Amino acid sequence: MTVYEEIGLPRVINASGRVTVLGVSTISDKVAKAAVAGGQSYVVVEDLLDKAGEIISQYTGGEDSCPTVCASAAIALSVAGMISKGKKTIMDRLPDSTGLANEIILQKGHVINFNAPIETMLRLGGGVPVEAGCATEVVVEDVEELINEKTVALLYVKSHHCVQKGMLDLPTMIDIAHRHNLPLMVDAAAEEDFRKYIAMGADLVCYSGAKALEATTSGFVTGKKELISYIKKQYHGVGRAMKVGKEAIMGLLAALEQYENKDKQAEVEKNVKIVDWLVDEINQIPNLKAQKIQDEAGRAIFRARVFVDPEKAGMTATELEGKLKAGTPTIRCRTEFMSLGSLDFDPRPLVEGDKELIVAKLKEIMEA
């Protein structure tokens, strides 16, 4: 029995992935021990922010870094930092940035919702989102012709939620930004490579701590030292409402060390075996069809996609998803393509026995 079942909540089988609505991920004993130790001692928080920034940068290649409470907070604080440039009188009035250079340009296909609009995170830091191009096509001129004296940065969103065709690639966005003497920020919340985008020339990169890293509820931004110095100052401004705790920071640092030494290929192979098993088993259930698919953003993440033909199955994918959620345990899968008739099952969060329960419940639903 989980601690959540003990307080009267249903057991959750998470086949959706490392998503906020299901608690993102689980932490290891190593991370938990570091978080507990951090929570049981005192520290000068500004000193901890600086030291943590140094340590995080060893794993990213950034000139400096700043821990945050999550990736969304990293985005908001980064925007506030770039607008205020650390000036107290500006920080004190944010997110009101009226009359200031405050525009953040991003491609229309990157204007996503991850259970909250990304524009909201920009506005929390005082930014004004400016969309470039169309939802399925953006060209260089679409971005360049929006740049003016009010532009403070360009944003590139690396996510499976984004439109994956017709957008400008990251090197092109970096080139545009730097030719116009502007910083380029990357939202890489769920990405698994913490060096890649800094090495490509991005000025700021925002990551989640609780997703790929499986850390405490946390995040961080890494990049140019001057920009990071502006961001750290925001904890005396809008960042006060999203301050990161000492225990979360220590858990994050432990998770970074753990991740660095992790056999990532072995984990991918383990997850592929689970997906292959699910596909084989589900294809034996009458009126359902399954296949292995790869993450839309190109990460080494594989999932089982189940196609639901309403005429054969006697129900839509939406109805099947509702039946999976009903009862205890509740089974949660990915629903991005549900309106198109398919559900995705992510193997990464599954624990021993979960995959068998998923197949058993699918059989029970289809037989009923």
DSSP string for 294-355: E-TT--S-EEEEEEE-HHHHSS-HHHHHHHHHSSSSEEEEB-TTGGGTEEEE-STT--TTHH
Q: In residues, how long is the chain?
A: 368
Task: Provide the pLDDT for residue 1.
Answer: 80
Q: What is the pLDDT of residues 163-181, one digit of tens each?
A: 999 999 999 999 999 999 9
Task: Provide the pLDDT for residue 103.
Answer: 98
Count of CB atoms within 10 A of residue 136's CB?
A: 11
Task: Provide the pLDDT for residue 63.
Answer: 98
Task: Provide the pLDDT for residue 232.
Answer: 98
Q: How far apart are CA 113 and CA 293, in angstroms?
A: 22
pTM for the predicted model, two decimal places: 0.92
Residue 270 is inside which H or E element, if any? helix 264-282
Cis upstream peptide for 329 (omega within 30°): yes
Q: What is the pLDDT of residues 53-72, one digit of tens each?
A: 999 999 999 999 999 999 99
Digitized pLDDT (tens) for each residue of the chain, 368 residues in all: 889 999 999 999 999 999 999 999 999 999 999 999 999 999 999 999 999 999 999 999 999 999 999 999 999 999 999 999 999 999 999 999 999 999 999 999 999 999 899 999 999 999 999 999 999 999 999 999 999 999 999 999 999 889 999 999 999 999 999 999 999 999 999 999 999 999 999 999 999 999 999 999 999 999 999 999 999 999 999 999 999 999 999 999 999 999 999 988 999 999 999 999 999 999 999 999 999 999 887 888 999 999 999 999 999 999 999 999 998 999 999 999 999 999 999 999 999 999 999 999 999 999 98
Task: Provide the pLDDT for residue 368.
Answer: 83
Of 32, 166, 178, 53, residue with least CA distance to 110: 166
Q: How far apart are CA 177 and CA 197, in angstroms?
A: 14
Is the CB of residue 261 less than 8 Å from the CB of residue 342?
Answer: no
Cα dihedral across residues 148, 149, 154, 155: positive or negative: negative
Domains in the chain (CATH in brackets) are 3-22+263-367 (3.90.1150.180), 43-260 (3.40.640.10)
Task: Provide the pLDDT for residue 126.
Answer: 98
Residues 6+ apart with CB under 8 A from 175: none
Ramachandran category for residue 314: left, alpha or beta (phi over 0 → left; psi -120 to 50 → alpha): left
Q: What is the pLDDT of residues 326-335, one digit of tens each?
A: 989 999 999 9
Q: Is 13 helix (H, G, I), strand (E, B) or coil?
A: strand
Q: Which residue has the tokens 């995080």?
A: 56
